[in-house]
Amino acid sequence: MEELKELGASRAGAIHCLTIIGQIEGHQILPEDAKTTKYEHVLPLIAAIEESEEIQGLLILLNTMGGDVEAGLAIAELIAGMKKPTVSLVLGGGHSIGVPLAVAAKCSMIAPSAAMTIHPVRINGVVIGVPQTYRYFSRIQDRIVSFVTEHSRIGREEYLRLMNNTDELANDVGSVIHGEEAVGCGLIDRIGSLSDALAVLHQQVDR
């Protein structure tokens, strides 16, 4: 995970950038050849940004490929709970847990060429096939759906429809929606580039 970077200063103070890329690594360590963002590094950075008197706004750059659901939700909840101005910008893709991360900011943006991949919660490896296991997955998925619909303009039924779509992905369930589609369905607030995201963030800071 890249360290926190200062992008510059406005009248009100510094704008900082947090990059979340690859897979969100949680309690299990992923292979060395996998690009990961370690959530135990991100959480204290977000807390430090919120407490800093010098930092006035946070820009979150996202290009995710899924990862640990619990770790991703922890990061998203922390971002959503910030009082300082926050803007997220999806570049390339927001896969799975990248969706809650994107909508957690006060303003979410997506590059015209970027896409969001929405699919149900699943797990790799050995699973104990008992009813409790399936109820556990159902509750995790419900938490994700609730978070996304509470922090965006998309309706619950529409988000579930996209999540459980069987007509789009080969050998998989879910949907891939691109920039304009993500804005049109209310998942993301607006289309934008880096300069647009910074302009919105500076407006928040000035207010």
What pLDDT score was predicted for residue 152?
97
Would you state the pLDDT for residue 123? 61
Yes or no: say if 16 and 7 are a contact pair by the CB < 8 Å rule.
yes
CB neighbour burial string for 151-161, b if at least 16 within 10 angstroms, e if fewer: bbebeeeebee
162: phi then psi, degrees, rounded to nearest 5: -65, -40
d(CA 68, CA 189): 25
More confident residue, 174 or 115: 115
pLDDT of 89-127, one tens digit each?
A: 999 888 888 899 999 999 999 999 999 999 887 665 555
The torsion angle over the Cα atoms of residues 160, 108, 207 and 85, rounded to 10 degrees, is: 90
Q: Is 16 among the catalytic positions? A: no
pLDDT(3) > 60: no
Catalytic residue check, 119: yes
Distance CA 205, CA 124 (A): 42
Cite the DSSP H helix spans in the chain. Answer: 39-51, 69-80, 98-103, 131-150, 156-163, 179-184, 194-206
Provide the greatest CA pair distance for the chain: 58
- Distance from first CA to last CA of the chain, Å, rounded? 31
Q: Return the pLDDT at 27.
A: 77
Name, of 29-33, 35-39, 55-59, the range with top average pLDDT: 55-59
What is the reported pLDDT for 130?
A: 55
pLDDT > 50? residue 72: yes
**Three-class SS of residue 1?**
coil
Q: Which structural domain range is residue 48 located in? A: 5-206
Q: What is the pLDDT of residue 124?
A: 57
| Residue position matching structure tokens 């039924």 | 157
Q: Among the options 16, 88, 95, 96, which is catalytic?
A: 96
Catalytic residue among 16, 95, 119, 202: 119
Task: Write phi, then psi, for 60 (nearest 5 degrees).
Answer: -110, 115
pLDDT score, position 173: 81
Stretch 167-184: mean pLDDT? 86
Indicate if the pLDDT at residue 60 is higher than 70. Answer: yes
**pLDDT (average), residues 44-49:** 95
Segment 78-90, tens digit of pLDDT: 999 999 999 999 9
pTM of the model: 0.85
For residue 201, name the pLDDT band (cuts at 50, 70, 90): very high
Domain count within the chain:
1
CATH number at residue 122: 3.90.226.10
